[in-house]
Amino acid sequence: PITATVERLVGGVDPGGVGDIVQEIFLRLARSLRLWTPARGASLNTWTYTLVRNHCFDALKRKRLPLTRLEGLAAERDPALV
């Protein structure tokens, strides 16, 4: 289920990176498992899915294309617009 979730969330943007992201998630799960406590109300499945989802969103943020300021483009085309 973890690999399928990562594929669904990240596969369209970074199909070659799905395996790396899954590996990072398993490492994070192994390191963070001691933080999960049933008394807090979330099941292990819910806690795991939240960790997977957040890690995928972080991976997508890292893949984001650089942004260009529109003011700079307008000045390059016509200095009178600025």
Place 77 in a pLDDT band, splitting at 50, 70 and 90.
Answer: low
According to DSSP, residue 17 is labeled G
H or E element that contains 31: helix 18-32
Which two three-digit tokens encode residue 36?
Answer: 């999960």
Q: What is the pLDDT of residues 13-53, one digit of tens each?
A: 777 889 999 999 999 999 999 888 888 888 999 999 999 99
pLDDT, position 64: 73
Q: b or e along 11-20 (b: 16 or more beta carbons within 10 Å of the residue's beta carbon)?
A: beebeebbee
pTM over 0.75: no
Place 71 in a pLDDT band, splitting at 50, 70 and 90.
Answer: low
